[in-house]
Structure 1
Amino acid sequence: MLKTRYFVLYSLLMTAIVVASNFLVQFPLGGTLAGINLADLLTFGAFTYPISFLITDLTNRQFGPGTARKVVFVGFVVGVALSIALASPRIAIASGSAFLVGQLLDISVFNRLRQLSWWKAPLMGSLIGSVLDTVIFFSLSFAPIFSFIGPNDDFAIASAPIFGVLAAEAPRWISWALGDFAVKMLVGIVMLLPYGALMSVVRPMSARTTA
């Protein structure tokens, strides 16, 4: 019964994060910072999505990789279905694909490293998962080669200075991907704080999943 309650809780949290991130990724930040046009660098989705790795890692720590994968699949199915109503089908497909691959990779890395120092498994899992997630999501969402999935976003594919300030130019979605990954890493490091704080509460349920 306890496991079922936690499974439902983790699944609801995961779904909420996926849907919110799919919706927020459509909105670039406004304004400038130190001369950088933030619309060329970041979307709001970059700040919410890294929380999904925290949810996956807590599930993995408490119940093991099998249950963590089930939570990921629930987040994938429900999140994509709801995201189609809140975002474009192309964004939903790209997000679902990136989410599934990135989260499953995070689970594998976390499980391999869980016997090391408490912070190494969640940090390396989110780092490696985020690399693949970012590449898959932004390529499928905005790269012209994948336009068969859905129409291109003219603002996203228009040329702009990389990071909003460099002389070299690239499609704006490239800067979004780079900025998104940088924020994911920053938020991933910050997420170690709640992970560490919850370690005494979220304990492994069996000796086989000891972290």
Structure 2
Amino acid sequence: MTRNTLPGIIAMAAIVVASNILVQFLYGQWLTYGAFTYPLAFLVTDVMNRVYGTAAARRVVLVGFGVGLVCSLIGTQIMGEFGPLVTVRIAIGSGLAFLVAQLLDVSIFAALRGGTWWRAPLVSTLIGGTLDTALFFSVAFSGAFSFIHPATDVSWASEMLPLLGTGPIAPLWVSLAVADWSVKIAIALLALIPFRVLTARMLRAS
């Protein structure tokens, strides 16, 4: 850990902790408040990548992964109305999705670093965010992954309903995933503004 990367590490840890707390609170029918804070993790990773390079970005990701594991462990010990706040499948899906998607984001950003300023953060976040959503929701809620922890009851997530209330019939967890992915895409576009501002300032100061 270096002095330069400390702000990125603190920001990533704060986003992970906040998202783990806010995911407990619903926003409308398909989302939680955590859906609006978690995508900012990609912004932190991309800013660190642009300013300090891939090694620094990976260090920040690994710290975020560690903080997420601690949050998941704590969540498995807190009992809610229907059982632990964090099930084994949610913990595995969350950790796996974060680590794989963030590291992929770092690699894609590095490959596109030399192009137009917006291409690397936009493409890496879109691909990383899509993979993150697919991994988390399928591992945590899909019946196909019930072998991970058969004792976890996710039958509610397989209820067949119109997609987002209006589309074709699909399992409930698919609607949750599509809503989450849509927010990630929107924030990826909006995050280009703070990415440009932050990286310009940090590069001038370095």
TM-score under structure 1 normalisation? 0.83
Secondary structure of 1:200's partner? helix
Residue 194 of structure 1 corresponds to which residue in structure 2?
Answer: 194
Please state if 1:158 is matched with 2:159: yes
User: Which whole-Å CA distance do the structure 2 matches of 1:109 and 1:178 have between them?
Assistant: 23
Residue 102 of structure 2 corresponds to which residue in structure 1?
Answer: 103
Residue 16 of structure 1 corresponds to which residue in structure 2?
Answer: 14
Cα 1:51/1:58, change in 2 over 3 Å: same
Secondary structure of 1:14's partner? helix
Amino acid at match of 1:12: I
Cα 1:184/1:81, change in 2 over 3 Å: same
Q: Deviations over 1:116-167 (max 9, x none)?
A: 111111000100101111110001111122234441334433222101122x
Please state if 1:72 is matched with 2:61: yes
**Residues 143, 154 of structure 2: 8 Å contact kept:** no
User: Which whole-Å CA distance do the structure 2 matches of 1:152 and 1:7 have between them?
Assistant: 41
Q: Which has the higher contact order (CA 8 A, sep 6+)?
A: 1
Percent of residue pairs identical: 47
Cα 1:205/1:116, change in 2 over 3 Å: farther
Please state if 1:4 is matched with 2:2: yes
**Bigger Cα displacement from structure 2, 138-147 vs 100-109:** 138-147
**Residues 51, 199 of structure 2: 8 Å contact kept:** no
Structure 2: stretches of 5+ with no match in the other structure: 76-84
Q: Deviations over 1:48-75 (max 9, x none)?
A: 1110000001111111101111111111
Cα displacement (A) at 1:9: 2.1
Cα displacement (A) at 1:85: 1.3
Cα displacement (A) at 1:205: 9.4
Residue 84 of structure 1 corresponds to which residue in structure 2?
Answer: 73
Residue-pair matches, total = 194
Q: Deviations over 1:31-63 (max 9, x none)?
A: xxxxxxxx1x32322211110000001111111
TM-score under structure 2 normalisation? 0.85
